[in-house]
Structure 1
Amino acid sequence: MSAADSEIERVDVLIVGGGPVGLITAYQLARNLPSPHKIKIIEKYAKSSQDQYGRAITLFPRSSEMLDQLGLADELAQQCFACRQTVNYDKNGREVPGRGWSFMENMKDTQWDFALVLRQKYQEEIFRQALKRHAVELEAPLALVEVKILDGVGPNGYRILATLEDGNTKAKRTVKCKYLVGADGGRSFVRRAMNIPFDGTSSEDKWVRVDGVIETDLPKPRTYCAIESPTHGNVLWAALDHGATRIGFAFTAERQRTYEVFDEEAAVKEAIASVKPFSLSFKQVDWWTIYVVGQRIARSFFVEDCVFLAGDACHTHSSGAAQGMNTGMHDAVNLGWKLSLVLQGLAKPDLLQTYETERLPNVQRLINYDKDISRLMTMQLPENWTGDPNADPNEILGTVMAEAATFSSGLGIFYEPDSTLNINSGSGHFTVQPGHRAPDVGLKKPGTFEPTRLQKITPNIARFYIVAFAGDVTKTKPLLSAFTTALEKLPWLADAESPISRISIFSGLGPSAYESLGGYPFGKVFYDDDQSAHERYGVDKNKGAVFVLRPDGWVGTVMALGGTAAGGLEEYFKKFLTMDTTAKL
């Protein structure tokens, strides 16, 4: 190594972009990776210029669940506006049920059964402080200005040469890294530097958003509200944190022709007009913006086996369905645990390919929904509409949003069965299948019978969880015994270095798991006193079942309880884990 080369900074992962997606990616890596792994996150703009109001505001239930498993949701909940009520008004100010955001009132099967509304400014501060507690700080203003992929570098080597430029001094320095994550927004430098096409279109439609503190005679102002305006499309009214409100509306070509210059005064004037017949006045304006509506998706999310795109860097869409930040969170969480395991040598590098194969289809689903929703919000029928050409776009919008409800809430987002992570073992017909979200069922702790939840006992720390639904142990004891005996022959499952934890769930309540079994139980024990957990997962309490939960809270595989389940687990984990102890299998 030359003297000059020895002065080059080396990091495991360089993350470009200091928004929520970049911060959550960096946080997971900093939290999961032991020393001496090094994470670096940079942002082109000084945070003083970025710490404005506006931008993204809403986290839907699945995003909140994922942040809960990362230990961050409670802090968000302290500051958020928890929105559980929606309302829709027609052009005359009459309340019309079943339209607009009404799907939000049916977000069940989760502890986080509401829209967590907290402006991005406040979310980012929480994430930065959490990251700082793991000895990583966002560096800004610091821009990535050049990327080179080096030849002849093996797996997990420093394959990337990145040139950084200080935003104040313009001084340049070089960093070598193993992996690069572009979370740098819709105009992503990383995407452009890697020559990744950004397919899609931008429409002629423009939308305006205004945030501030308001006075109004709207009957239910502290809600997520839609107003069917004949001049401004389907108007968004969103109650925000800290007593503020967001008004969003379509800025039609007709309205645009009214202004030579569109400034804050004009935005406020149009906001007031958009909510008629209700009155509106602004006591203060925190932020406003105007933007072009469009949908684009990167042709690749992972290139050169070392460069990733996440969030707006690989997909942009309207804010019509309020999914931008939520989809970016899903990207970050999906990538974070996989990259953590690969960097530690616990998983094969091929695992990283599943980031694109899992996320891209879900992003495409969002793009398809967003195309329809964004047109309907501007009072246009979808491009491929084959129904009544005179249909009311507001009515169709309600139907489309209802159809997309479980996707929008995130609770219905799933990953297709594959040959690596989401394996259908064919061993039973359970309600919850591989690739589905693992429902956050209520449980009881031993001894105290204190209530807890499955997601609380399965935090996302880049570990898998083998969950044995033991049912009624007076009936399943032989099956559970055969299962645990077979597992004892697989020492890697008990290895301290193995990224796998064990949990047992018994139906009913009991004074001692040891006495119930006549021996040591499988991992930590929790009780399902009313059998609701077994019922939600579709497990027969007289037969039991074994579920593998991925670190991100999706189900990896399911199999019947018994001795053969151990062999199924062995085959499952050997597909992507590389612990040294697997050589003994």
Structure 2
Amino acid sequence: MESGDMTIEHVDVLVVGGGPVGLITAYQLARNLPAPHKIKIIEKYPKSAQDQYGRAITLFPRSSEMLDQLGLADSLAQQCFACRQTVNYDKDGNEFPGRGWSFMENMKDTKWDFALVLRQKYQEEIFRQALKRHGVDLSSPVALVDIEILDDVGPIGYKVIATLENGTTKVKSLVKCKYLVGADGGRSSVRGIMDIPFDGSTTEDKWVRVDGIIETDLPKPRTYCAIESPTHGNVLWAALDHGATRIGFAFTAERQKAYPKFDQEAAVKEAIASVKPFSLSFKQVDWWTIYAVGQRIARSFFVKNCIFLAGDACHTHSSGAAQGMNTGMHDAVNLGWKLSLVLQGLANPDLLNTYEAERLPNVQRLINYDKDISRLMTMQLPENWAGDPNADPNEILGTVMAEAATFSSGLGIYYEPDSFLNISPSTLDSTVQPGQRAPDVPLQKPATFELTRLQTETPNIAQFYVVLFAGDVSQTKSSLSAFSQSVESIKWLSDSTSPVSWISIFSGAGGPSAYETLGGMPFGKVFYDENHSAHERYGVDVEKGMVFVLRPDGWVGTTAELGSGASQTLDTYFKRFLIVNGEAKL
């Protein structure tokens, strides 16, 4: 179609920004939505395998888990530097245990129990290729220049008209879409065009990062390392992929005075000074940058019922805690399955309001940590510090990093209980609560007894999983029978067209037949919990059993007692946001 001299393209979702957050958002939609749904992703700057180095480098365990459920983590693991070791040196070059990045050595309860270090350049190439396999190519260089919202268009209609400009030919075109996702970084065009305030501040503090191939006498160079420099703050030394290393340091006002012009040569000179008393020389410099530290949050993450912001477009912070890309991944994964269900007509559009409701409190937690961490890394005490004014910032930093450990790893990130998605039954208690991450417990397959894991069996394909912890069947058989009979009365729960799958986990060693173990057909796929560790991790009594609903993104949605009442609990829970038999929510 054409409008005047401009062509018009119709797509379901336009993603603006070709970095990791935009690519993962587009990838989920392309993977989950059947034809004839269409996804388009654009990037203002040229993108290719020759992208510059630098930028984000680290994925923490929860991010790796989420990417694993999307089928992407194995490709990342092929190229990454898997960092499990940390070291902290004081100003004299002596090891000082328990400070700096030491929390990384205690990231347990997951097979991804390490920092996955892979520079953004390589991650983006993996994501672009995965997206291409689902029929979507990144369009670049293409810039967004205007957005028009059509107020007279109803839900799931083509409400957004985006004006695009080809960066090479300068030819403009129009895209009509149902939803637009701004994942276009800290200087977001989407946020600017929609006039969404970006609250916060930028400090006078400046940090420098230099990546390259190095030679050094530092005793443990292939680690995540902190050096407590008296002149350059808490210096980051990070072993990178492909044998490279990143050096990061505070560039104080005092040091800045020596450089009328700060260039690569100056960055290298300061990097060498920052790691004293150790020696450092660069055989090759891949990338360097200098930037001001600040924290900002967009006033809204979702406006006009059709425009989303994700990643740096809606929150920026320092790289002190290495959370930028990780937080963006959480945004993308949280949004991706919700948009997928709404666009397929399987969920009410109200579900999309939970994106900001869930992500904003976690972004605020990060900002609060980041304000303290970034000041401490620059050898300043936190702004609201009420302790000893002569306290050692390095010591306080160690304490703050330890306190933030489960948040930083992502394994402790949770969504508050609510009345919509994360429902906590008042009469039921378990170790794992609604709104918390579903632990990735080991399981056995039937017949072959091959080992597998819960997250391997619950991929993120915009489906919920009802996980039946059946316990010891000899003890729970009557409850299982009552549950089975009650579920049969609610046909849609086990209908093949609903976005709900079933998994049964039996406590104990597997027998020759799941049918004979249960005395009838089990629900969904069957697995065994030979040593009861899965039941124990979830806090399930093997004599009683329990039902957990896992959201598509791997968080627990709700729980129910095993028995006749569980089916009604499930029916009520899902009808809050799913469209069942053409009927909207309760």
Matched position secondary structure for 1:214: strand
Distance 2:438 2:310 in 1: 24
Tell me how far 1:511 sits from its aligned partner. Answer: 1.6
Distance 1:273 1:395 in 2: 22
Superposed CA RMSD: 1.4
Would the aligned equivalents of 2:81 and 2:117 in 1 still touch at CA under 8 Å? yes
Matched position secondary structure for 2:65: helix
1:311-390 aligned at under 5 Å gives the runs 311-390=311-390
Amino acid of the residue matched to residue 559 of structure 2? Answer: V
Distance 1:246 1:438 in 2: 33
Would the aligned equivalents of 2:576 and 2:585 in 1 still touch at CA under 8 Å? no
Q: Flag structure 2 segments of 5+ consecutive residues without an equivalent.
A: none
1:312-347 CA distances to partner (integer Å, 9 max, x unpaired)?
000000000000000000000000000000000000
**Which moves more between the two structures, 136-145 or 6-15?**
6-15
Matched position secondary structure for 1:94: coil
Tell me how far 1:103 sits from its aligned partner. Answer: 0.2
Would the aligned equivalents of 1:345 and 1:579 in 2 still touch at CA under 8 Å? no
Tell me how far 1:579 sits from its aligned partner. Answer: 2.7
1:9-48 aligned at under 5 Å gives the runs 9-48=9-48
Q: For residues 49 and 489 of structure 1, do their structure 2 counterparts lie closer, same or farther at Cα, with a shift above 3 Å needed?
A: closer
Tell me how far 1:428 sits from its aligned partner. Answer: 1.7
Partner in structure 1 of residue 473 of structure 2: 473
Tell me how far 1:3 sits from its aligned partner. Answer: 7.4
Q: For residues 474 and 377 of structure 1, do their structure 2 counterparts lie closer, same or farther at Cα, with a shift above 3 Å needed?
A: same
Would the aligned equivalents of 1:209 and 1:247 in 2 still touch at CA under 8 Å? yes
Q: For residues 362 and 584 of structure 1, do their structure 2 counterparts lie closer, same or farther at Cα, with a shift above 3 Å needed?
A: closer
Tell me how far 1:63 sits from its aligned partner. Answer: 0.1
Distance 1:584 1:158 in 2: 23
Would the aligned equivalents of 2:58 and 2:322 in 1 still touch at CA under 8 Å? yes
Would the aligned equivalents of 2:434 and 2:556 in 1 still touch at CA under 8 Å? yes
Distance 1:225 1:2 in 2: 57
Amino acid of the residue matched to residue 533 of structure 1? Answer: A
Q: For residues 492 and 376 of structure 1, do their structure 2 counterparts lie closer, same or farther at Cα, with a shift above 3 Å needed?
A: same
Distance 2:91 2:306 in 1: 52
Distance 2:567 2:344 in 1: 25
Tell me how far 1:16 sits from its aligned partner. Answer: 0.2
Distance 1:61 1:25 in 2: 19
Would the aligned equivalents of 2:310 and 2:328 in 1 still touch at CA under 8 Å? yes
Q: For residues 289 and 548 of structure 1, do their structure 2 counterparts lie closer, same or farther at Cα, with a shift above 3 Å needed?
A: same
Partner in structure 2 of residue 511 of structure 1: 512
Tell me how far 1:200 sits from its aligned partner. Answer: 0.2
Distance 1:266 1:3 in 2: 52
Partner in structure 2 of residue 578 of structure 1: 579
Distance 2:508 2:48 in 1: 55
1:169-201 CA distances to partner (integer Å, 9 max, x unpaired)?
101011100000000000000001111000000
Query: How many equivalent pairs are there?
Result: 585
Would the aligned equivalents of 2:548 and 2:559 in 1 still touch at CA under 8 Å? yes
Would the aligned equivalents of 1:491 and 1:581 in 2 still touch at CA under 8 Å? no
Partner in structure 1 of residue 412 of structure 2: 412
Distance 1:100 1:3 in 2: 58
Amino acid of the residue matched to residue 168 of structure 1? Answer: T
1:202-351 aligned at under 5 Å gives the runs 202-351=202-351
Partner in structure 2 of residue 527 of structure 1: 528
1:104-143 aligned at under 5 Å gives the runs 104-143=104-143
Would the aligned equivalents of 2:61 and 2:411 in 1 still touch at CA under 8 Å? yes
Q: Flag structure 1 segments of 5+ consecutive residues without an equivalent.
A: none
1:433-448 aligned at under 5 Å gives the runs 433-448=433-448
Would the aligned equivalents of 2:30 and 2:134 in 1 still touch at CA under 8 Å? yes
Distance 1:517 1:409 in 2: 39
Distance 2:422 2:497 in 1: 23
1:41-80 CA distances to partner (integer Å, 9 max, x unpaired)?
0000011497010000000000000000000000000000
Would the aligned equivalents of 1:87 and 1:95 in 2 still touch at CA under 8 Å? yes
Partner in structure 1 of residue 161 of structure 2: 161
Amino acid of the residue matched to residue 222 of structure 1? Answer: R
Tell me how far 1:581 sits from its aligned partner. Answer: 5.9
**1:173 aligned onto 2:179:** no
Distance 1:302 1:381 in 2: 35
**After TM superposition, what 4+ stretches of structure 1 lie above 2 angstroms from structure 2?**
1-7, 581-585
Q: For residues 584 and 267 of structure 1, do their structure 2 counterparts lie closer, same or farther at Cα, with a shift above 3 Å needed?
A: closer
1:96-123 CA distances to partner (integer Å, 9 max, x unpaired)?
0000000000000000000000000000
1:526-584 CA distances to partner (integer Å, 9 max, x unpaired)?
00000000000000000000000000000000111001000000000000000326589
Matched position secondary structure for 2:386: coil
Q: For residues 216 and 356 of structure 1, do their structure 2 counterparts lie closer, same or farther at Cα, with a shift above 3 Å needed?
A: same
Q: For residues 2 and 227 of structure 1, do their structure 2 counterparts lie closer, same or farther at Cα, with a shift above 3 Å needed?
A: closer
Amino acid of the residue matched to residue 34 of structure 2? Answer: P
Amino acid of the residue matched to residue 542 of structure 2? Answer: K
Amino acid of the residue matched to residue 534 of structure 2? Answer: A
Would the aligned equivalents of 2:44 and 2:143 in 1 still touch at CA under 8 Å? yes
Partner in structure 2 of residue 553 of structure 1: 554
Amino acid of the residue matched to residue 71 of structure 1? Answer: G
Distance 1:2 1:396 in 2: 61
Partner in structure 1 of residue 194 of structure 2: 194
Distance 1:584 1:326 in 2: 33
Q: For residues 153 and 6 of structure 1, do their structure 2 counterparts lie closer, same or farther at Cα, with a shift above 3 Å needed?
A: farther
Matched position secondary structure for 1:24: helix
**1:403 aligned onto 2:419:** no
Distance 1:80 1:427 in 2: 45
Amino acid of the residue matched to residue 154 of structure 2? Answer: G
